[in-house]
């Protein structure tokens, strides 16, 4: 009997409720979006923020047989997926209506496509390229709006649907970027740049920056997306494994979500049956393309967190900027500053963050000796922290404000004797254990368990210091 694809039985809106295996290879791996994490071997292992299972459970329903892969293209089921996903502030999901694409999606239709136009703007050397606000441009199988003269697109995690983007019109592309994709506030690293540079990389008034097209864009009603989004790599033109497994996984997710009471859609946004459109729970399941780590990522399915359509808030983690400076030479102390560049207040649990009173003990700071490529290893501890957090473990940061904490680089646990006289690079890395997009005084105990709690990895704030 062939192996089968098993989908876990309990699925609610939001990635935190897709129950994956993080140790053994379930056919479907689900994970939270997060920034890149390096040097993870230096940290004491932490349990994932979602339930896991040790092995694939017995099938509780009829499942499709796992498709056979061509010889020599096996799936890597042993390498950990944790920390291998690049972090993006925004993802543009282009609605192509196709289930597969060329190896380079920019080459589709002889280069005449929305993905090519947007990558020209946001890619390396583009007018809106910003290393502190990475934008990912992906193709998807969802079709564009029927009446669109150009191409439709989803914006995630903003959860917006733009029905018609004229990809041949530079003013149209600029209007979309300035109105919906660029950040409202720049990372502090841009503070020393000319005003013209800073103005170019932030959102602006639509009429001023986008001309008449921006007004037309607004009139066409850019829409909020309230649906659960399940995106599965099916890019067979780049890797045959994705082309084989993607459609099967899509169909299985559709059946499983249907059994749980979701109205499952694969077609146009807003173009489905009116009764389904009114359904309390709608899930959109489609194929997308990905780049990098093909031997693993064809098994990675990303579920997007649902958010209230009445809120203008996206993931608040993308608006937390971390910077470091040397506060003292003897003893060596670094000052970590977190700036909230979101247009709203945030409240965070300090556990595992640069504001953690036990930051050094749990391995938040790392040091790379002069001339080395790997960080200095030092012993860390694993702490059992009270949850929900309270007291000094909870910090609120108003929009545009900053909070700092000094971290002394002590010996022990750091072997500073071996670094005397050296110039070392110091950074911080870890995991936001809980970030809420609201003021501290408005946070209740229930918020730390709710759907509006965000978690994710970070690694920022490099600074060079001299050890005396």
Instruction: Enumerate domains of the chain plus CATH numbers.
Output: 1-312 (no CATH), 316-466 (2.60.40.2970)
Q: What is the CA radius of gyration of the chain?
A: 23
**Given pLDDT bands bounded at 50, 70 and 90, which one contains residue 441?**
very high
> In angstroms, rounded to a whole number, what is the distance separating the alpha carbons of residues 89 and 255?
31
SS3 228: strand
pLDDT tens, 18-71?
333 333 333 333 333 333 444 333 444 445 555 556 666 666 566 778 888 888
* Pairing mode, strands 135-140 and 90-95: parallel
Peptide bond between residue 413 and the one before it cis (omega within 30 degrees of 0): yes
Looking at residue 317, what is its pLDDT?
85
pLDDT of residue 374: 75
State the burial class of residue 246 (Cβ atoms within 10 Å of its Cβ: 0-12, 13-18, 19+): buried
Share above pLDDT 90 across residues of the chain, in percent, rounded to a whole number: 11
Query: What confidence score (pLDDT) does residue 241 get?
Result: 82
- Residue ranges of alpha helices (H) inside 260-395 are 274-277, 294-297
- The pLDDT of 453-464, averaged and rounded, is 77
Q: Is the pLDDT of residue 396 over 90?
A: yes
**Across 434-458, average pLDDT:** 87
Per-residue tokens: 231 = 């995106």
Report how far apart, in Å, the C-alpha atoms of 267 and of each of 253, 309, 320 are: 15, 21, 35
Q: What pLDDT, on a 0 to 100 scale, did the predictor assign at position 389? A: 92
Q: What percent of the chain has pLDDT over 70?
A: 72
Residue count of the chain, please give it: 468
The pLDDT, as a whole number, for residue 397 is 94
Higher confidence at residue 209 or residue 316?
A: 316
Question: 454: which residues sit within 8 A by CB, 6+ positions away?
Answer: 305, 315, 316, 317, 432, 434, 435, 436, 437
Alpha carbons 425 and 370: distance in angstroms, whole number:
7
**What pLDDT is stored for residue 35 in this prediction?**
38
User: Contacts from 241-246 at CB under 8 Å and sequence distance 24+?
Assistant: 241/69, 241/73, 241/75, 241/294, 241/295, 241/298, 242/289, 242/290, 242/294, 242/298, 243/100, 244/67, 244/68, 244/69, 244/70, 245/27, 245/67, 245/69, 245/298, 245/299, 246/99, 246/287, 246/298
Tell me, what's the pLDDT at 83? 55
Average pLDDT over residues 163-177: 88
Is pTM, for the whole model, over 0.85? no
Question: pLDDT value at position 62?
Answer: 67
Report how far residue 461's alpha carbon sits from residue 361's, in angstroms, rounded to the nearest whole number: 19
Q: Nearest 5°: phi and psi at 144?
A: -75, 165
Cα gap 249→433, rounded to integer Å? 30
Average pLDDT over residues 191-214: 70
At 210 the pLDDT is: 43
Q: Are 412 and 331 in contact (CB under 8 A)?
A: no
Residue-averaged pLDDT of the chain = 74
Rounded to 10 degrees, the C-alpha dihedral 142/144/145/148 comes to 180
Instruction: Please write the tens of the pLDDT for every residue from 311-368.
Output: 344 678 877 888 888 888 888 888 888 888 888 899 999 999 999 988 888 888 888 8
> Stretch 160-175: mean pLDDT, rounded?
88
* pLDDT tens digits along 362-377: 888 888 877 777 777 8
- Give SS3 for 312: coil
Tens of pLDDT, residue by residue over 110-157, are 878 899 899 999 988 889 999 888 898 988 999 998 877 889 999 988
Beta strands in 42-191 (DSSP E): 90-95, 135-140, 151-156, 160-165
pLDDT at 393: 92
Q: What is the pLDDT of residue 27?
A: 35
Predicted local confidence at residue 60, as pLDDT:
58
Which of 3-7, 82-86, 264-268 has the highest average model confidence (pLDDT)? 264-268
């Amino acid at each position: 009997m062939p192996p089968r694809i098993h989908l876990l039985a309990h699925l609610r809106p939001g990635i935190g409720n897709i129950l994956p295996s993080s140790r053994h290879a379930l056919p479907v791996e689900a994970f939270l979006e997060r920034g890149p994490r390096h040097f993870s071997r230096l940290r004491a292992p932490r349990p994932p923020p979602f339930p896991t299972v040790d092995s694939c459970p017995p099938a509780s329903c009829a499942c499709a047989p796992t498709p056979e892969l061509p010889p020599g293209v096996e799936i890597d089921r042993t390498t950990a997926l944790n920390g291998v996903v690049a972090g993006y502030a925004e993802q543009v999901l282009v609605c192509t209506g196709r289930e597969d694409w060329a190896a380079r999606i920019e080459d589709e239709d002889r280069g005449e496509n929305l993905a090519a136009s947007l990558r020209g703007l946001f890619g390396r050397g583009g007018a809106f390229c910003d290393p502190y606000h990475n934008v990912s441009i992906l193709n998807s199988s969802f079709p564009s709006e029927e009446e669109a003269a150009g191409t439709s697109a989803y914006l995630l995690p903003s959860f917006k649907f733009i029905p018609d983007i004229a990809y041949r019109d530079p003013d149209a592309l600029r209007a979309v970027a300035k109105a919906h994709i660029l950040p409202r506030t720049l990372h502090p690293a841009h503070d020393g740049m000319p005003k013209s540079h800073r103005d170019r990389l932030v959102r602006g008034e639509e009429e001023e920056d986008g001309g008449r097209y921006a007004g037309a864009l607004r009139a066409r009603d850019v829409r909020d997306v309230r649906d659960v989004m399940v995106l599965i790599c099916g890019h067979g033109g780049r890797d045959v494994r994705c082309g084989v497994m993607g459609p099967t996984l899509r169909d299985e997710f559709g059946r499983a979500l249907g059994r749980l009471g979701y109205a499952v859609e694969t077609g146009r946004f807003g173009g489905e049956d009116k009764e389904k459109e009114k359904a309390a729970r709608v899930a959109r399941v489609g194929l997308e393309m990905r780049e990098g780590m093909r031997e693993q990522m064809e098994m990675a399915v990303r579920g997007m967190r649902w958010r209230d359509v009445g809120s203008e808030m996206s993931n608040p983690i993308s608006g937390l900027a971390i910077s470091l400076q040397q506060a003292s030479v003897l003893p060596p102390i670094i000052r970590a500053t977190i700036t909230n560049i979101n247009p709203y207040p945030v409240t965070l649990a300090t556990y595992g963050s640069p504001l953690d009173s036990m930051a050094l003990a749990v391995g938040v700071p790392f040091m790379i000796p002069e001339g080395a490529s790997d960080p200095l290893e030092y012993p860390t501890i694993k702490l059992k922290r009270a949850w929900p957090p309270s007291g000094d473990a909870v910090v609120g940061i108003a929009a545009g404000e900053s909070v700092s904490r000094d971290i002394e680089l002590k010996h022990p646990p750091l072997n500073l004797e071996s670094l005397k006289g050296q110039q070392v690079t110091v950074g911080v890395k870890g995991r936001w254990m809980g970030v809420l997009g609201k003021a501290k005084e408005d946070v209740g105990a229930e918020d730390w368990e709710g759907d509006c709690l965000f978690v994710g990895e970070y690694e920022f704030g490099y600074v060079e210091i001299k050890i005396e």
